[in-house]
Amino acid sequence: MPNIRAYSQRLLPPFSGVVQIAQSDHARAQSFDGLSWEVHYVPRRSQRQGRQQMPLGYALDRGYYRVAHFQDGRLTPYVLPAVLDAAQVGACIEELADFLRSATVPFPVADVFEFWLLDGKDESPLALIFSCCEASQMSTYPTKSGWTALPHSKLRIDSTAEEQARQEPPVNHRFQELVTSRAGAAPRTAWLKRVPGDSGDFPPLLVREDWPSERERDLCRRYLLRTAPILLMLQGLSRDDRERLEIAAKRHAVEVDGHYPLYPEINDEKRMAAMRVEARLRRGSPQRSESSPTEKQAPAPLSKDMRILE
């Protein structure tokens, strides 16, 4: 079996899904839905940093070439630039294609280095801003940054009649302001390394939910439940958290069906199957393929095992 590393990484900021990556010495395949894969090739090892993971967004003009597409077990090579050795590229991408034909997604999470906005009172993790797979990548991210919600243009959350009458901004915007306010006038951030057993030290849905007033809790709840089809892609959720997200996701069947291959676990298979049937009926076309299964906890103070990375 070739030396291929397969892992997943969260898409941030703001959290909008996960990308699957299968990587060998000279090539990688990446997928945002677990079904369609874009294959990249790098011709020289010197353009890599040892066996480090290739950072997301790595510029193609710095060494990577888009060389093929893989879907439904079929590899479709692109026309290659003359500088590449077709035989060498072909061998590398066939190796990845063979791996993907028997691989199961989602792959294990690898972005264990996390950049958190901290609570202004107790400096516990408040909201996740960035994440990366290698400690050496941390220095490439901004050191001062606020948390952002998915914008209303991409994630519509209905306002109540009263909110419309008062012409209040969208829920997304108001919740983002809430998080910003909780971080304080001089917000602090920290890189934290996630280690096994530390899930209870982090907000499971990547932002704190323990707000003091009912109005604040309502904004938080409405934002998180609307993002349920996306949040269900998180690995390490508790059964209770996954249950409330699956129930909330019933209102967004088409989104659920699109993300389904990357759900690591499912509480109620019948409920999920019903959502996917509804999505297909709405879409008026047959649907694709299926996937497989993990766990989580609630917010708590920083544990002594959590390391702040300077």
- As a whole-number percent, the residues of the chain with pLDDT over 90 amount to 72
Mean per-residue pLDDT for 183-188?
94
pLDDT on residue 195 = 80
- Other beta carbons within 10 angstroms of residue 71's beta carbon come to 16
pLDDT on residue 52 = 44
pLDDT on residue 56 = 46
Alpha-carbon distance 59 to 61, whole Å?
Answer: 5
pLDDT on residue 122 = 92
**Residue 185 to residues 118, 146, 182, 210, 213, Cα–Cα distance (Å):** 12, 12, 9, 20, 20
- As a whole-number percent, the residues of the chain with pLDDT over 70 amount to 83
Mean per-residue pLDDT for 140-161?
90
> Is the pLDDT higher at 38 or at 1?
38
pLDDT on residue 290 = 41
Confidence of residue 293 (pLDDT cuts 50, 70, 90): very low
Mean per-residue pLDDT for 216-224?
97
The least confident of 63-72, 135-144, 191-200, 270-279 is 191-200
pLDDT on residue 44 = 64
Domain ranges in the chain?
A: 5-102, 113-130+144-187+196-301
Question: 272 and 246 in contact (C-beta within 8 Å)?
Answer: yes
pLDDT on residue 43 = 78
> Across the chain, what does the average pLDDT equal?
85
What confidence tens digit (pLDDT) does each residue in 51-60 have?
444 444 433 4
Residues β-bridged to residue 207: 127
Max mean pLDDT among 10-24, 198-212, 293-307 falls in 10-24
pLDDT on residue 54 = 44
Confidence of residue 286 (pLDDT cuts 50, 70, 90): low
pLDDT on residue 53 = 47
Of 19, 11, 5, 284, the closest CA to residue 131 belongs to 11
